[in-house]
Amino acid sequence: MRLLGSVVALASCVVAVCAAQASAAASGRECPVTARAVYAVDHTNGKVLCAKNARMKLHPASTVKLMTALVVLDRKDVSDEISVSSRAANVQPTRAGLVAGTSHSVGELLAVLLAASANDAAVALAEAVAGSEDEFAGLMNRKARELGMRDSQFTNATGLPDRSQRSSARDLAILTRAAFRHPFIKKVMAEKRVTITDNDGRKISRANHNKLLWRLDRPQVLGKTGYTRSAQHCYAGIAYYDDRRVSLVILKSRKPWSDVFSVLGVPRTVGR
C-alpha cells in the first residue's frame, strides 16, 4: 500500500508539472533564452508574451541612455547648442570622439548617444541640462517615478558600472515604451548610421549598435543595446508589426540576438 501510495503521489506530481508547463507554453510565457531576465509585452492587448525574473534588479548598462534621452527632451529643444566639457570628452568609452570646447546641437548629441551609445554625449547632455551628472541622475530618478518604474535606481547618464545603479526588465519595458513614443527617438533609432558636425566643421560618423537593423525587416526591431562585464549583454527595444507593437527587454544575456529571436519567435536563420 505504501508503494502504491508513493507511485500515485509521484504520478500526481508529474501530471501537475506537465500541466504547469503546458499552461506556461499556452500563455506564451516560456522564455528559452540565455538571459538572466526577460520581459516582453504586446501593447495592443497588454498581454505578457514572455517573463523571466522580470522584477529582478540588475545592472542595466547602456539601456539607461533611453532615460537620459527622455530627460533631455523634457528640458531641451533638439536645436539647442551645447558645449562639450573636458570631463565629457574624456569619459570612459564607448565614446563618439567629441572634442572639448566644441559645440553640437542637442539633436546631434542625442543621435550618437542613442545609435552609437556615446558616453561623451551622455555626459555633455547631462551637464547641459542639470549642471552635473549627479544632479542629472536625480532627474532620471524623478522621471522613473513618474513612469511607474518601481525597481530602478539611476546614478549616472551613461550606464557605466555603479553598484547602486539597478533596474528590472519590467521597468525597462515601461521606459522603452515611453521613449519610443517620442518621434525623435524613434527616428534616430531607425538609422543605421548617424553623422554629426561640430562648430569647427569636424564630422563624426558612427554606426548604430543595433544589429537587428541589418538582420530583420519584419518585424522592424528598434532598440538600445548595452554591455559591461557585470551587466553582460542587454537590450531594450520595440518590435513593430503591421498591427501591433511589442516591447522586449533582455538583461544579462550571453547571446542577445539569439535571445531576441527566441522571444519574438523569429527563426535564427533569418538575417544570416
Q: How many residues does the chain have?
A: 272
* Contact between residue 125 and residue 98 where contact means Cβ atoms under 8 Å apart: no
Q: What is the dihedral of CA 68, 245, 221, 207, to 10 degrees?
A: -30
Q: How many CB atoms lie within 10 A of CB 211?
A: 15
Please list the active-site residues. Answer: 62, 65, 117
Grid coordinates 553640437 are at which residue?
104
- Dist. CA 109–CA 42, nearest whole Å: 31
Q: What is the dihedral of CA 16, 17, 18, 23, to 10 degrees?
A: 90
Grid coordinates 548598462 are at which residue?
61
Q: Is 69 exposed, middle or buried (0-12, 13-18, 19+ CB in 10 A)?
A: buried
Instruction: Indicate the residue type of 28.
Output: G
